[in-house]
Amino acid sequence: MSTAALIEQPDTRLQLVTDRMVGGRVVSCWGAAGSGKTTATVNLGFELASLGKRVLIIDLDSYRPSIAALLGLVNSGPGITAVLRLAKTGRLTLDELERLGEELSFGKTSLQVVTGLKSPTRWPELDGDGISELFRFARENFDFILVDVASELEEGLFSQTSDVPRNFAASEAIRLSDLALGFFAADPVGVNRFLSDLREAGFEFWPIANRVRSSVLGRNPERQVRDTMFQIAQLKIHTTIAEDGAAMDIAQQRGQPLLMAAKSSKAREALRLLALEIADL
């Protein structure tokens, strides 16, 4: 099978379901392992908040939840499992969300974060009733809900102790979203991983090339990655994010977003422009 055959043609992809777009917008951030999707998710959240939007970030990655670590939240609250329990019993309120999650402030702006699973073995607790009710609640109280999901989408995986499919959380979050972003690292390994994950992706998304750099792609790396992905997979790259390791290192060391730690970073500028597009949804 050719590489291009792994990807459905754009006209056969599921279209975004606009009748879900009532209240706040849900944006799922999906991508191959090592794509930098979690870092991008957090930075997009801060960029949207800086525009005056009410923002909620949810770590729904059932394999590698890492938003708490990225933000330096060593003693984060109970997180997603406790929030979902309240949501599906109709007891979730803003006060409870603040108690179980984390509020991050910078200047006069803040956003809310629901951290991920304390142990990946608890993935069966990410069930349909809880996710749908959490999203409904979030739409009523926030302008934008950014959801970090796992890359794995393969169906039919179950355990002997749960009737919740192993990859249900990611698929359900994307199904309920108004927009999906698909991140991949712009290097041979990242592209290969992304093409493999696309076998299970039957939905429309904005392809985002992350860590774009001439040291791997040669001269004019943006054009190289755009041309390559279109030739092998008929994908039109929506956004490219330049590699800026120094800025990312500073941000991670400080546990801060790029808009605070490295405001003039090229990576930050690309994420800022992407946030402006999302804000117009």
What pTM, to 2 d.p., does this model score? 0.90
pLDDT at 10: 37
The two tokens of residue 37 are 């999707």
C-alpha dist (Å) from residue 44 to 147, 155, 260, 270, 273: 11, 29, 13, 10, 10
pLDDT at 244: 94
- Are the CB atoms for 143 and 22 separated by under 8 Å? no
Sorting pLDDT into bands at 50, 70 and 90, what band is 11? very low
pLDDT at 29: 98
Q: Which residues of 127-147 are buried (b: 16+ CB within 10 A; e: fewer)?
A: beebbbbbbebbbebbbbbbb
Domain map of the chain by residue range?
Answer: 22-275
pLDDT at 72: 86
CA distance 142 to 16: 20
pLDDT digits 0-9 by tens, 182-222: 999 999 999 999 999 988 898 999 999 999 999 999 899 99
Candidate from 17-31, 39-53, 242-256 with smallest mean pLDDT: 17-31
22-275: CATH topology = Rossmann fold (3.40.50)
- Are the CB atoms for 252 and 261 separated by under 8 Å? no
Does the structure show a pLDDT above 70 at 160? no
Sorting pLDDT into bands at 50, 70 and 90, what band is 5? very low
Does the structure show a pLDDT above 60 at 236? yes
Neighbours of 25 (CB within 10 A): 21
pLDDT at 7: 39
CA distance 101 to 269: 28
pLDDT digits 0-9 by tens, 81-115: 999 999 999 999 999 999 999 999 887 789 999 99
DSSP the chain: --SGGGS--GGGSBPP-GGG-SSSEEEEEEE-TTS-HHHHHHHHHHHHHHTT--EEEEE--SS---HHHHTT-TT--STHHHHHHHHHTT---HHHHHHHSEEEEETTEEEEEE---SSGGGGGGS-HHHHHHHHHHHHHH-SEEEEE--S---SS--BTTBSS-TTHHHHHHHHT-SEEEEEEESSHHHHHHHHHHGGG--B--EEEEEEE-HHHH-SSHHHHHHHHHHHHH-----EEEE--HHHHHHHHHHT--HHHH-TT-HHHHHHHHHHHHHHT-
Give the full edge-to-edge strand order of the sheet including 239-242: 102-106, 109-114, 55-59, 144-148, 25-31, 179-185, 206-212, 239-242
pLDDT at 166: 87
- Are the CB atoms for 193 and 33 separated by under 8 Å? yes
- Are the CB atoms for 206 and 239 separated by under 8 Å? yes
